[in-house]
Structure 1
Amino acid sequence: MILTHIGGPTVLIETDGWRLVTDPTFDPPGERYSFGWGSSSVKLTGPALSVADVGPVDVVLLTHDHHGDNLDVAGRGLLSSAGTVVTTMPGARRLGSVRGLGPVRGLAAGATTVLPGDGTRPSLSVTATPARHGPPLSRPIVGDVVGFALRRSESEPVLLWITGDTVLYGPLRQAAASLAVDVALVHVGGVRFGITGPLRYTMTGRDAVSLIGALRPRVAVPVHYEGWSHFADGPAGLDAALAAAPDDVRARVRRLTLGEPASVTD
C-alpha cells in the first residue's frame, strides 16, 4: 500500500491495483469557509498536489460532503472523474442529483458495499464505521459523518481504517476494540470555533493516542490536523501528545511528508 498525503484529510491510496482518494480538497489557500451556525475557518495552506497531479481515481471515499475542509470546489470537480463515490446516506442524496457524477453509494454506520474486482485487482469491501463530528446531541447541527473500513473480503482483517472527522466517544472506542486493523488514517486537529467556546468537533492529539493504543494498528497515520485556522490542537497538540505517549503507541505512528508517496506495506 502506498499513501500520499495531499493535505488536510485528502490522501491518495494505492493498493492492489486500486486508486482511491479520501475527502478531496484541492482549493488554494486564503478563502474562508462557512460551517454553519456562525462557525467558519480559513484555509491556510494549499494542497501538495493538484487534481491533475493525482491522475485517474477509481473511488472517492467521502466521509461527509457538507464541510469545505472535506470537500471543496476543486474537490467536487474530482468527483465527476472518479468511478465511484462512497459517502453518507444524506450525502448520497445530495450528490445523486449532481449532473455528471458516476455512481454514488450512501452508507450508514455498519453498512457495507463491495467494489467489484475486474480480473487484474481484487474486490474491496467497504464498511462504514461510526463517527460523531462534535459533542453529544450535535448531530442535527453538524450533520452525518462516517469512517470507512476497507477489506479485501469481509472475512479478512481491515486493510485500512479511515476514522473520519469524529470526537472520541463510545461507538468509536467500540469499533476500535472490534476491528483488527493493519493501517489507520486518524483524523485529528481538535477542531474548535470561537462561537461555541470549549466544545470540540474532532479528536485532539491525546484522543488520537488513546484510540491508537486501543486499536493497536501496525501503522497509524495522523491526518487532517494542519492547514486550517479551526484546528485548535493542531500540529503542536499532536507533537505534545506523541511525546508523552507510551513507546508502543509512538512506534506505530508514522507522519507523512505532504506530497510524497510513502509505502506502508509490512
Structure 2
Amino acid sequence: MPIETIRGEPFNIRFDGAEDAPVLMLSNSLGTDLHMWDPQIPEWTKQFRVLRYDSRGHGKSTAPDQPYSLAELADDAIGIMDHFGLDKVHWCGVSMGGMVGQWLATHAPRRLHRVVLANTSARMGPPDLWNGRIRNVRANGMGPLVQPTLERWFSPGFRERDGKTVEAVSAMLTTTPPLGYAGCCAAIRDMDQREAISAIVLPVLVIVGALDPATPPAVGQQIADSIHGAELVTLDAAHLSNLEQPEAFGRAVLDFLNT
C-alpha cells in the first residue's frame, strides 16, 4: 500500500488478509518498523485483516524534529482507524506499541475490542536515562545504539542461533530516523500510566518475556494486576518476544482473541 496521508502527515501503512475479516491492528516497538510482525502474518491473516503501520518517527512514516507525547502516538492510531472507516479493532503492541495500547484502552476504549500488551511497561524511568539517550542519538545518530539494544532485545542463545532475525532488526534500528527516535524517547520518558490503567475494562492479555531485561516479568505482572481480569502469559524470550518465540507468541495471541 502507498504512503497514506493521515491528518496531513505521511504514514506507511499495510493491510494483509481478507477485507471482510475482523481487523487486528499492530503497533511496533521503539526502533523497529511494521516488518517486526512478519513472522506472525501468515497465521494471523487466516482469521484477521491485519493492519500494521510504521509508528510516528519510524520507518517511512512522518518523523518531525520535536518531542512526541504518548497521547500523540495514540492519536495517530485513531487517525489511521478513522481514515479507513474502522470503528473498532483488536490491538496488539510490543513495548512502545503496548504503551500506546494502554493509552487507547484507558482513553478510547470504544475503539477497541480485545487488547494485547506485550513486553511493555506503564512507566519507563528514570527520565535521565531517556534524556541521555536523546542527547546521544541527536549527536551521534543511531549507530552507537544498535549493538547495546540488540543485546537487551534478544537473549544470548537466540543471538547465536538466529543471526538472520537479529540482522533484520539491526537494519531496522540503523535506518530508524534519529530525530524520530528521539521524539519517541521523549514520549516514553514522560509517560506514567500506572494509576490510569486500573480503569481499563476491556479484555486484556499481557505477554512477558522471562528473559526480558528492558521490561522484566515483574513489570508485566504489575500491569496485569492493575487491570481487572487481565490474563498473563510468560514466554521464554527477551524483549522482542514475538521474534524470539514467534510460534508461541502467535498462538497466545490467537487463543486470546478467539476466547
Question: What's the TM-score, normalizing by structure 2?
Answer: 0.39
When you count strand as a share of all residues, which structure comes out higher?
1
When you count helix as a share of all residues, which structure comes out higher?
2
Which structure carries more relative contact order (alpha carbon 8 Å, separation 6+)? 2
